[in-house]
Structure 1
């Protein structure tokens, strides 16, 4: 997994990019590094790092594990036996507890 490490005004910063190390992802990481470097040089650096997070992670819709499993059950209703759906719903109750 790729991450960026740098220092600015005596403070150490680390930003995990959340992507595997591939040539394309390295190019994306280099672009982000260049943006951060430019912002530091122009005194526009965002110490919260929100400006540098990917658009997908900032704008992405958050979904809970419970909601995801509910959607899974709705999808599987078309393909599985009703007894299997009962087991899925039982699992859903356990998930709801967490």
Structure 2
């Protein structure tokens, strides 16, 4: 993969990173102060992003590259009971940091789909996983699982939930080069079974009783 040039620039009171990847423009603002310490933090983040892109392990949500977490007010010991509760809370935070065009193109369609399962409990995550596998082709399902996993990782950090039932699911979906970026060909039965087995192996408590 070709080298990705990441620009460090001043934006108001802070520095920010800007770069182009797969035709999409990204920017990262993490309260990088305009001084030696802040510039060093920005350089460290840019190196991590470059290495992840070269390793084909880039986090499109950018959560991996943040060290300053958003302060979200939640009542003490208050936990979300529904999948959409975690997703929507994370969405509100992301809307503040993502370009409007990127949000409406990449994230809003996923939100519209998940609205159909607004009342689904977190304990019923396997049902949603199976439904996504049935409804969506592999490339789209991989994107949805990536976004859901990022939402729940964030939820764990802010105390909304205790675990991430979508962890590792996106990585278990292997796409051939010819299919990357194309919403074609639904999952085969074998592919659905492999994804389901991967989920139950990581979360045996969710496995159906035999």
- TM-score bin, normalised by smaller chain: 0.5 to 0.7
Name the CA distance, whole Å, in 2 between partners of 1:19 and 1:63.
23
Secondary structure of the structure 2 residue equivalent to 1:4: strand
- Corresponding position: 1:57 with 2:69: yes
Contact 1:4 1:17 in 2 (8 A): no
2:38 corresponds to which residue? 25
Name the CA distance, whole Å, in 1 between partners of 2:32 and 2:55.
28
Q: What are the equivalent positions in structure 2 for 1:62-73 lying under 5 Å apart?
A: 62-63=72-73
Name the CA distance, whole Å, in 2 between partners of 1:10 and 1:17.
23
| Cα shift readout 1:48-95 (whole Å, capped 9, x = no counterpart) | 1111111x416xx6348xxxxxxxxxxxxxxxxxxxxxxxxxxxxxxx
Q: TM-score, normalised by structure 2?
A: 0.27
Secondary structure of the structure 1 residue equivalent to 2:18: strand
Report the Cα offset of residue 36 of structure 1: 0.1
Report the Cα offset of residue 8 of structure 1: 0.8
How many residue pairs were aligned? Answer: 61
| Cα shift readout 1:23-68 (whole Å, capped 9, x = no counterpart) | 11101110000000000000000111111111x416xx6348xxxx
Query: How well do the aligned residues superpose, as a CA RMSD in angstroms?
Result: 1.8
Name the CA distance, whole Å, in 1 between partners of 2:33 and 2:63.
21
Q: Which runs of 5+ in 2 are unaligned?
A: 1-13, 75-210
